[in-house]
Structure 1
Amino acid sequence: MGAITLRHVEKWFGDLQIIKGIDLDIDDGEFVVFVGPSGCGKSTLLRMIGGLEDISRGALLIDGDDKTADPPSKRGLTMVFQSYALYPHMTVGENMGFSLKTAGAPRAEIEAKVGEAARILKLEDYLDRRPKALSGGQRQRVAIGRSIVRDPTAFLFDEPLSNLDAALRVEMRYEIAKLHQNLKRTMIYVTHDQVEAMTLADRIVVLEYGTIAQVGTPRELYERPANLFVAQFIGSPKMNIVDCVTADGAFTLPGGRGGSYSGARPATKMGVRPEHIEIGAPGTGMIDGTVDVAEYLGADTYLIVDAGPAGRITVRTDGDTPVRECETVGLGAPGNRLSFFDSDGKAI
């Protein structure tokens, strides 16, 4: 079992509050990703769960047992860091089995658990090599294997892929996803990379300055952001946000056009994802603009459109689009693809 519960958890460094009353329930076997900008408190929160940082106020429960005051060794958790931290003079097998050896486990048990971890991570052919003979991705797999042999209640990952190049990150994302499928253990993963968050998570926890901005599945956060912060943080390219005025069942954008509006209260911002924008002739849709830059990416082309007082709007369209730079276009979107936010930045 690996259910983890946080009850009004706070972290203070002197007079500075970093974590501001977090309440969160993580189910057994769930893959939860903490995501947010630098300095939002995601790594601090992970270290508090692991016992590497004290909890100033509140409580941590693991499978219903209060572990707030327990040291890391008593929590049944294991942590994989950004740094591999492998012993250079030891082989892969020795690195993976070192924690069991120091705990006095029998040699046969160590060999069995190291062999099983190596099989899961496809490291059988590398057990006699030393870390300097491995690639970055292989070293990270060894670091993960070192955690697997301990048979933990839950895995904690602190930005484990940030030292890898783009191709290796894609490969390791696949490896970690398959690891979760095979082991069916609770995993908490910290990253600032929203692609990792969207592709790996059962649920994403978006942190904003020590508080939870929103918790939900990747689809919920992408399609129904709770506020402006989540709307612009989740998604690449980010959601376009434009000032608007609402009245008499309609919204109006800078420039005088807009569309119908059925929100329960007045909105001051309208949001639309780049891929939901439809391109038409000038004078059609919600607003007109001139294409400043066309970024060709193969399957897609990103158009950066100067919409005058509405600002720059990013449009994601087909890679074969005939629209070119300096062309004036009309931009529209289906009403069910629009998001609206009030003066406090909360979704309507």
Structure 2
Amino acid sequence: MSRLLVTGGAGFIGSNFVRYLVERTDHSVIVLDKLTYAGNLASIEDLPAERVRFVRGDIADAGLVDGLVGELDGEHDAIVHYAAESHNDNSLSDPRPFLDTNVIGTYTLIEAARRRGTRFHHISTDEVYGDLELGDPARFTESTPYNPSSPYSSTKAASDLLVRAWVRSFGLRATISNCSNNYGPYQHVEKFIPRQITNVLRGVRPKLYGRGENVRDWIHADDHSSAVLAILERGRIGETYLIGADGERSNREVVELILEAMGHPRDDYDLVPDRPGHDLRYAIDSTKLRDELGWTPRFRDFESGLRATVDWYRANESWWAPQKDSAEARYAELGR
């Protein structure tokens, strides 16, 4: 593949993937991003123009999408679909944008890919599987039944099923990956880890939903990027691969590690009311990805990766500060 169309390439994991491609491959990239509040052109604007071309637009705009896909070589190039509405709290207060982007947007892209015979990779989430009980040794696998809990996860589940149907019904050359929670640089401050870090940097005590017992399986964005590239290069068409780095931590543990890394007492946080339908635990079994494609994560030590993430936010206030006040205003409206 010499050229990739990356949707949502100015968002968190999308921009990290674009940066990964520029730093480690010779691929050129077309980034298609609507630049909603979660997209930030500053995340990629320092990348070389001869390698990265930015197009502002909506993935549900069929004319725009078809034109961009028409620029790709259907045999060698590919679409990597990161664009999504992805914040659970926002999906609970206004579900409609999640339907427009995650369902209609995905349909628009796979139709364009089908017509042109273009390779397609769909980025999804482990949240489509629902949640696991605390203390349960089980983990999600590719055969785990879907059981989404929120408007966000249900629309992502719908988009996964659309891709699977287009593979079977129309021969779409597609793969799917479902990934655990990402962390790293360039993540919007509404998300859990950057919210806690930037609160501490501003002298505000971190906030934990409920008792902070909910468990997430964390993976560094660079490891997610390397896994997606491995699937593009070596994955079997029609297959789903789960991406995880064995990084299970409770939300309370994560906050305590952040506080410790920033020189604060580990109990310097506040508990706030839990959100509706808050999933208990996510955990990924990435055996298929590792065995079939030979992939392994580089950031195996969550604590060191988290410290590096703290350092990045400390050094890049000019990137996150413009987002901070509006994000906290939304949380204040929700009492969280």
Common fold by TM > 0.5: no
* Higher Cα Rg, which structure: 1
TM-score category of the 2 structures, normalised to the smaller one: under 0.3
Higher strand share: 1
TM-score by length of 2: 0.28
Structure with more of its chain in helix, by fraction:
2
TM-score, normalization by structure 1: 0.27
